[in-house]
Every structure is written in C-alpha cells, then in structure tokens.
Amino acid sequence: MAEQVVMSQQQLEQLLRSISVNPNPTAVTAPVGSGNFAQCKSRYSGSKEEDVEAFINAISIYKECVNVNDANALRGLPMLLDKLAATWWQGTKDSITTWEAALTALRHAFGINKPAHKIFREFFS
C-alpha cells in the first residue's frame, strides 16, 4: 500500500521549487550561419530544360533550413553548379560579392528572356 507523507507548507513549496520546470526554456538551435551546401541535392547545369527559378527556390529553402549564412552560401554555390552553369560561374565569380548578387546574376544568365511585348501584355492583363 502507498505510504502517506506529511510535510509542512514550507517543505512543499521548497520541493516544488526544486522540481519546477523553467517556463521559458532556452531553445536549442544550431549556431546561426554554421551550415553549408555539402548535403544539398539540388544541382543546376544551365540547360534549357532546367528551370533556374526552381533551382534558386530549392537552394534558398535549403539555405534557410540548415542556417547557411550568405558568405557560406556564396562560397558553396559552385558545388551546386554543373556543366554550362559551372563554366559561367568561373567567368563571373570575381565580380560577384554577395549572395543576392549571385542569385540575380543566375537569373539574368539563365532565366527566361521574354520579348518586351509579352512582358507588357502580362503586366497589363
């Protein structure tokens, strides 16, 4: 049978303080910006069959999920580029100094270039 325990109010309060859980625990997170693209499966070769926007979206989501800072992302971008895109990067990398500039350059180099009249029609439809 269960044995009954008798304690004073002070003893009960002391016991509760010793076992109470902190209502604001500090979250355990990975250090900001410690990630890299080493395990990223997305690749881009620059072929016409591939969508550069889909590639950019995929690596942006990966970058956010594994806490890759902009400097590490820019340094690791060449690991994700193959064939034509890798060759393009070799000729462009010295002029690109930020992650956003790299994404903009990828879009300009491999994005869909629409004639002005199609852009006008999409904009005003």
pLDDT tens, 8-55?
888 878 877 888 666 665 655 555 557 888 889 999 999 988 999 999
Given a cut of 70, whether residue 1 has pLDDT beyond it is no
Q: Say how many domains are in the chain.
A: 1
Residue 18 maps to a domain: no
Domain around 58: 52-111
**Owner of token pair 């852009």:** 119
User: 90 pLDDT exceeds 90?
Assistant: yes
| Bridge partners, residue 44, by sequence | 81
Tell me, what amino acid is at 125?
S
37 within domain boundaries: no
In a domain, 83, yes or no: yes
Report yes or no: 99 and 60 within 8 Å, Cβ to Cβ: no
